Amino acid sequence: MFTSFSFAQEGIKDVSLGFCNNGTGNLTNKYTIMIEPWKQQEVCIYVENKSSGSVMMNYSFPKASFSPWGNQICDTSNDFAKFLIDNPNRAVVISWNSSVTLKETVVAPVWMIWMYYGCLAYQLEKPEVENMWWVFNLVVRKAIHLNLFVWSEDSISNTIQFAPVTWSIYSSNKNFSADINEDWDLILKFMVKNNGNLTQNISLSGKLYNPLWFEKPFDITAKKLLPGDMYEASINLGIVPFYKWLFSVRATLTGELVFEFDVSSIDEKYKQPIIIKETWSLFIFSWVYVILALIILWLLIKIIIPKKKKAE
């Protein structure tokens, strides 16, 4: 994989590329198209060569994803090209100290209302190779981001949900799990799913509490979640005094749509955050309660059995 504007060396660093669709004359290195199914839209690509010689540039359209830190990254495929009219000649010669404008046409798919992430990646015909400490060679290329949101009227979906976890033995709710690690810390786990068709910023907050006024708040900072993706959140609440009666957890899940296009025509209801709240009990308790229960059971047996014998 490679990220935008990375590993530039002598040669490709003198070749710049950007989208010219905004009509302002300013180039952008990220362009999101909002388009209806089966419609077409032209993509304007501006390429400039500031080097002292002519260059041959090849370009392709790989798909993209997000890193754990929320950065859009491009793979090495040409998979995003399926959304463009086929062009067998994606190579161009640019004379020294000159520029060219290229045209590509996006065709929106009809099979799914969705947000699609891609890139426009380019490299020189004579690949530049960077030797990485004699371990392997890395072909240098650069990329800008081309995204596509296929939509129709009232087609935006911004639903999120807590999803079942694989292990919830100590929890009364199948969507959450609780466990005690080797250091006796309480670990809570949540599974969150983006059921919508747009990327959402997901955040989670809540508290651990009991009837004896014990409270311990927690929160997870916003994470970018792609459509259809799931995220397992884990929270370490440290050592909890389980001798202070039984505990419950209250969690609030918040999702906010990430709009990467003009939202002037979008209904205001989609711009409001989605909030889901759930509460559940933990089946974790101290050995103090086990001992007390055994003592009470022993006392009951000592009291009830003699009474039965006297009655006989």
Q: Fill in the DSSP letter of residue 171.
A: B
Give pLDDT tens digits for 163-183: 888 766 678 888 888 888 889
Mean pLDDT of 215-229: 90
C-alpha to C-alpha distance for 202 and 211, rounded to whole angstroms: 30
Tokens read off for 170 = 């100590």
pTM above 0.95, yes or no: no
Mean pLDDT of 60-78: 88
What pLDDT is recorded for position 274? 92
C-alpha to C-alpha distance for 256 and 177, rounded to whole angstroms: 25
Tokens read off for 13 = 């660093």
Tokens read off for 159 = 């639903």
Of residues 241 and 292, more confidence is placed in: 241
C-alpha to C-alpha distance for 57 and 93, rounded to whole angstroms: 6
Closest CA to 273 of 204, 175, 189, 219: 204
292: Cα within 13 Å, side-chain hemisphere: 7
Give pLDDT tens digits for 261-311: 777 777 888 889 999 999 888 876 544 555 666 777 777 777 766 665 555
DSSP β-ladder status, 186-194 and 176-180: antiparallel
Range in 60-69, 84-93, 104-113, 292-301 the model is least confident about: 292-301
Cα–Cα distances in angstroms (integers) from residue 249 to residues 122, 164, 218, 260, in the given order: 50, 16, 10, 35
C-alpha to C-alpha distance for 49 and 98, rounded to whole angstroms: 6
Cα of 126 vs its chain's centroid, Å: 36
Give the three-state DSSP class for 117.
Answer: strand
Give pLDDT tens digits for 112-144: 778 899 999 999 876 554 554 444 445 578 999
Q: Which residue has the tokens 């259809």?
A: 228
Q: Which residue has the tokens 């380019």?
A: 122
Listing DSSP states for 41-99 in one string gives EEEEEEEEE-SSS-EEEEEE--BEEE-TTS-EEE-SS-GGGGGB---S--EEEE-TTEE
Domains of the chain in start order, with CATH, are 12-150 (2.60.40.10), 160-287 (2.60.40)
